[in-house]
Amino acid sequence: MTAISTVKSATCPALFLAAPSSGAGKTTITAALARYFRLQGKVVRVFKTGPDYLDPQILAQASGQDVEQLDMWMAGEAYCQQKLYEAALEADLILVEGVMGMFDGEPSSADLAARYNIPLAIVMDVKGMAQTAGAIAVGLANYRDDVTVAGLIANSCGTERHAELIREALPESLPLLATLPRDPEVALPERHLGLVQAAEVRDELEQRFNAGAEWIAGNAITELPASVEFKSADLDTVEPLLAGKRIGIAKDAAFSFIYDANLRLLKALGADYSFFSPLNDSELPDVDALWLPGGYPELHAAQLGANQSIQQAIREFHQSGKPVLAECGGFLYSLETLTDLDEQQYPMTGLMTGHGAMRGKRGCQGMQTAALPEGEVRAHAHHRSRAFDTEAPIAHGRRQRHPAPGEPIFREGSLTASYLHLFFPSNPAAIAAIFSGQFEHTEGIAG
């Protein structure tokens, strides 16, 4: 008997925005395109390549839709395939913003585009070049034969003559999709670890998005891109291992690096969750476990240090033996003190031994596997601080492409803490074990 395929498919216009390098304007242009088509009454679903937290906040506001991170190493090919399929069911347009340079990383933006047959638009800052922009674009377009390039978006284009020189340098097979002039009213504000958080500058962003839509309308081809067929994937069923559990999640201006995928996974595991603010609240919600995610505690260290009532509540929660997961910024908050960029030291919760201090521009970033006793969880690191005088870690992260030990992973009592940001769907059973308190209470060992 022939098996009946359960794979479904959906088609949707789609475009992948990649660039020769970081800083070409991918996020600004993706946001402007999303807002332009949204104002035309289209449902625009945007995805961001890689583990980024900040760009998705910006792009979600521009599009009016949730933004998913796509990373074939961190989330898996089947997961990415399913999310694109689900978006195609409801969207009039899918936009994917790449990361770094078009071929940088393993997997790269080009790998992702090739895997799901999404045509690429090359975003290039053409300031200081003319025909050379055409040469670079042709080289990128022909570097691999498994990617389809729809054309070039010339950003920071000075004059019509500048645009004409670039257009003449391109073959007919590589059209000039847009010639976007430099416009400070459209460019997005930045901060020391990337873009600002959208909630901090919502009104300003609205003005920039709308200016960006006009920027697109006056300087770009505004037809929808070609349609792409997206197929469903068979993902493993998630068992309700956290049924009846209540999880308190820190969420405010200091703690906001939370994947929507992680929240959905907690729901699929059967858990309920509620948010609280270490900046403003005086007590915890009635919960069985805590999650202290990443964010910018260093920018709010004085207020965090002054809120002794919530710190005491968190200490008592930890002392009661209930599980706490702390990631990056949450890890810093779990230490005894935090020294900010102005060399001011503030008291933190002291759930574990040690101190944290900012390091300016020096730091660590990259994909790692968190080698937890409960199982391996895919993760990434991105920080410009250091922790010192801690107890010995129970393990280290395993770097994706380097043999040196990754970020240390600590466990003190019911606390699991590390600089690593965990992608929960990569190992639901391990995440359930941590939040249910069924993990191993391992003593610190040198790693």
d(CA 224, CA 393): 52
Choosing from 80, 157, 328, 364, which is the catalytic residue?
328
Query: Packing angle between helix 54-63 and helix 26-39, nearest 10 degrees?
Result: 20
Hey, what amino acid is at 342? D
Q: What is the 3-state secondary structure (H, E, C) of 285-349?
A: CCCCEEEECEECHHHHHHHHHHCHHHHHHHHHHHHCCCCEEEECHHHHHHCCEEECCCCCEEECC
Q: How many CB atoms lie within 10 A of CB 415?
A: 20
Rounded to a whole number, what is the distance in angstroms from the first to the last CA of the chain? 54
d(CA 241, CA 236): 14
Tell me if residue 328 is catalytic: yes
Q: Please return the burial class of 375, using the count of CB atoms within 10 Å of its CB with bins 0-12, 13-18 and 19+.
A: middle
Cis peptide before 107 (omega within 30 of 0): yes
The backbone torsions φ and ψ at residue 236, rounded to the nearest 5 degrees and listed phi first, read -65, 145
CA dihedral 312, 318, 324, 330 (to 10 degrees): 30
d(CA 328, CA 292): 9
Residues making up the chain, counted from first to last: 447
Identify any residues that bridge with 388 across adjacent strands, giving them in sequence order: 355
Annotated catalytic residues are 328
